[in-house]
Amino acid sequence: MFSILSALAQRIDLLKQVRRGNTGDVIYKVLAYLFGLALLGIVVAIIWELWVQSAFARQEFGISFLWSTSFDPVQAQFGALQFIQGTLVTAVVAVSLAAPLGIGIAAFLVEIAPRRVNAVVGFLVEMLAAIPSVVYGLWGIFVLAPFLRDYVAPWLTATLGWTPMFSGSFSGYSVFTASLVLTIMILPTAAAITRNVLQAVPKEQREGMLALGATRWEMFSQAVLPYAKGGVIGAMALALGRAAGETMAVTIIIGNARRIFTSMFEQGATIASVIAGNFTDADSGAYVSSLFLLGLILFAMTFTINVLARLLIKATSSGPTG
Amino acid sequence: MASNQLTKASGGFQRRKVVDRVMTGIAYAFTAFALVALVWVIAYVMSRGIQVWSLSFFTETTALFGDGGGIYNAMIGTAWIVLLAVLIGVPVGVMAGIYLADFGDNRLGDFIRFTADTMAGIPSIVVGLFIYALLILIMGWNAFAGACALAILMLPVIARTTEGIIRLVPGEIREASLALGLPQWKTMFRVVLPTAAAGIITGVFLAVARAAGETAPLIFTMLGSNFTNTNPLEGAMSAVSLYVYQASSSPYEAVQNAAWGAALVLLIFVLTLNFIARAIALRQKA
Amino acid sequence: MRRMTLWRALLAGLVMALVLAGCGGDVAEEGGTPDEADDGGSENGGDGEAAGSITGAGATFPAPLYNEMFSTFAEEEQGIQVNYQSVGSGSGIEQYINNTVEFGGTDAPMTDEELEEVDVETLHVATVGGPVVPTYNLEGVDELNLTHEVVADIFLGNITEWSDEAIAETNPDADLPDEQIQVVHRSDGSGTTFIWVEWLSAVSEEWADSVGSGTDVSWPTGSGGDGNEGVAAQVQQTPGAIGYNELSYAEENDIPHAFLAPDADSEFVQGSLESAETAIEAAEVPEDLRVSVSALNVTDDGAYPVTGLTWLLIRQEMDDLAACRATAEAAWYATHDGQEFAPPNYVPIGGQTLETSEEFIQSMEAEGEACYEG
How do the domains of chain C map onto residue ranges?
53-130+309-370, 131-270+299-304
C55, C101 Cβ separation under 8 angstroms: yes
Coil vs helix vs strand at C131: strand
As a whole number of angstroms, the distance between CA C162 and CA C159 comes to 8
Asked if the Cβ–Cβ distance from B251 to C232 is below 8 Å, we say yes
**What are the domain boundaries of chain B?**
2-51, 57-285
Which residues 208-267 in chain A show a CB within 8 A of chain B?
209, 212-218, 220-223, 238, 241-242, 244-248, 252
Query: Across the interface, which of B3, B123, B259 has its CB nearest the CB of A247?
Result: B123
Position B7 scores a pLDDT of 52
Position A310 scores a pLDDT of 84
As a whole number of angstroms, the distance between CA C278 and CA C347 comes to 10
**Parallel/antiparallel/unpaired status of strands C259-261 and C145-147:** parallel
B127-149 average pLDDT score: 92
Q: pLDDT band at C264, cuts 50/70/90? A: confident
**Parallel/antiparallel/unpaired status of strands C53-58 and C103-106:** parallel
Q: Which CATH superfamily is domain A66-316 in?
A: MetI-like (1.10.3720.10)
Residues C131-270+299-304, CATH architecture: 3-Layer(aba) Sandwich (3.40)
| Reported pTM | 0.86
Question: What are the C-alpha distances in Å from B83 to residues B97, B205, C118?
Answer: 20, 12, 37
Contacts of B152 in chain A (CB under 8 A): 42
Select the more confidently predicted residue: A292 or B184.
A292
State yes or no: pLDDT of C4 exceeds 60.
Answer: no
Q: Is residue A292 left, alpha or beta, with left meaning phi > 0 and alpha meaning psi from -120 to 50?
A: alpha
Query: Across the interface, which of C12, C37, C67 has its CB nearest the CB of B138?
Result: C12
Query: Across the interface, which of C2, C224, C238 has its CB nearest the CB of A172?
Result: C238
Q: Which CATH number fits domain C53-130+309-370: 3.40.50.300, 3.40.190.10, 2.40.50.140, 3.50.50.60?
A: 3.40.190.10
Which residues 313-332 in chain C show a CB within 8 A of chain A?
none
Position A171 scores a pLDDT of 87
Position C28 scores a pLDDT of 33
Q: pLDDT band at B1, cuts 50/70/90? A: very low
φ, ψ (nearest 5 deg) of residue B231: -105, 105
Q: pLDDT band at C315, cuts 50/70/90? A: very high
As a whole number of angstroms, the distance between CA B255 and CA C141 comes to 27
For residue A238, the one-letter residue type is: L
As a whole number of angstroms, the distance between CA A233 and CA A161 comes to 32
Q: pLDDT band at C34, cuts 50/70/90? A: very low
Task: Name the average pLDDT for chain B.
Answer: 90
Query: Which residues on adjacent β-strands are paired with residue A78?
Result: A71
As a whole number of angstroms, the distance between CA A144 and CA C355 comes to 52
Q: Give pLDDT tens digits for B58-112.
A: 999 988 888 888 999 999 999 999 999 999 999 999 999 999 999 999 999 999 9
Closest Cα to residue C187, out of C91, C330, C331?
C91
As a whole number of angstroms, the distance between CA C250 and CA C135 comes to 7
Position A16 scores a pLDDT of 63
C-alpha dihedral (A53, A57, A63, A66), degrees to nearest 10 = -90
Question: What are the C-alpha distances in Å from A1 to residues A77, B116, B130?
Answer: 37, 18, 21
State yes or no: pLDDT of C30 exceeds 60.
Answer: no
State yes or no: pLDDT of B200 exceeds 60.
Answer: yes
Position B225 scores a pLDDT of 86
Task: Determine the residue of chain C that is closest to A35 in CA distance.
Answer: C18
Q: Is residue B218 left, alpha or beta, with left meaning phi > 0 and alpha meaning psi from -120 to 50?
A: alpha
In this complex, is the C-beta atom of B59 within 8 Å of any C-beta atom belonging to chain C?
no
**What are the domain boundaries of chain A?**
2-53, 66-316
* A65 Cα distance to chain centroid: 23
Closest Cα to residue C162, out of C141, C189, C148?
C141
CA angle B95/B100/B105 to nearest 5° reads 150
Q: Give pLDDT tens digits for C227-253.
A: 899 999 999 999 999 999 999 999 999
Asked if the Cβ–Cβ distance from B92 to C22 is below 8 Å, we say yes
As a whole number of angstroms, the distance between CA B257 and CA B248 comes to 9
In this complex, is the C-beta atom of C33 within 8 Å of any C-beta atom belonging to chain A?
no
C149-156 average pLDDT score: 95
Asked if the Cβ–Cβ distance from A25 to B26 is below 8 Å, we say no
B148-161 average pLDDT score: 94
Residues B57-285, CATH architecture: Orthogonal Bundle (1.10)
State yes or no: pLDDT of B255 exceeds 60.
Answer: yes
Residues contacting residue B118 through CB under 8 Å, at least 6 positions apart: A43, A303, A306, A307, A310
Position B220 scores a pLDDT of 86
* Alpha-carbon distance A162 to nearest alpha carbon in chain C (angstroms): 16
Which residues 14-43 in chain B show a CB within 8 A of chain A?
16-17, 19-20, 23-24, 26-31, 33-35, 37-38, 40-42
Q: What percentage of chain B has pLDDT greater than the value 70?
A: 95
Q: pLDDT band at C41, cuts 50/70/90? A: very low
B115-122 average pLDDT score: 90
Q: Give pLDDT tens digits for A143-170.
A: 999 999 999 999 999 999 889 899 888 9
As a whole number of angstroms, the distance between CA B269 and CA C212 comes to 48
- Containing H/E element for B212? helix B193-213
Q: Give pLDDT tens digits for A66-125.
A: 999 988 877 788 999 999 999 999 999 999 999 999 999 999 999 999 989 998 999 999
Question: What are the C-alpha distances in Å from C135 to residues A96, A146, A302, C130, C247?
Answer: 38, 20, 40, 15, 9
- What is the CB neighbour count within 10 angstroms for residue B207? 27
Q: What is this model's ipTM?
A: 0.92
Position A285 scores a pLDDT of 81
Position C360 scores a pLDDT of 95
How many beta-carbon contacts under 8 Å exist across B and C? 120
As a whole number of angstroms, the distance between CA B266 and CA C267 comes to 52
Which of C138, C223, C228, C231 should one mutate to test binding to chain A, selecting the residue with the greatest count of A CBs within 10 A? C223
Q: pLDDT band at B143, cuts 50/70/90? A: very high
Asked if the Cβ–Cβ distance from A171 to C114 is below 8 Å, we say no
Query: Across the interface, which of B6, B19, B115 has its CB nearest the CB of A212?
Result: B6
As averages over each run of 10 residues, the pLDDT of chain A (322 residues) reads: 58 59 84 93 96 94 92 85 97 97 96 91 92 96 94 92 88 94 96 92 89 91 91 93 95 92 94 91 83 96 91 66 40
Select the more confidently predicted residue: B11 or C54.
C54
Q: pLDDT band at C351, cuts 50/70/90? A: confident
Query: Which residues on adjacent β-strands are paired with residue C103?
Result: C56
Query: Does the bond joining C344 to the residue before it have cis omega, within 30 degrees of 0?
Result: yes
Q: Give pLDDT tens digits for C78-103.
A: 678 898 988 888 889 988 998 889 99
For the ranges B266-275, C32-41, C48-57, C72-81, the maximum mean pLDDT occurs at B266-275
As a whole number of angstroms, the distance between CA C219 and CA B172 comes to 68
Residues contacting residue C88 through CB under 8 Å, at least 6 positions apart: A280, A281, C58, C59, C60, C186, C188, C189, C190, C191, C215, C226, C227
**Parallel/antiparallel/unpaired status of strands C182-186 and C241-242:** parallel
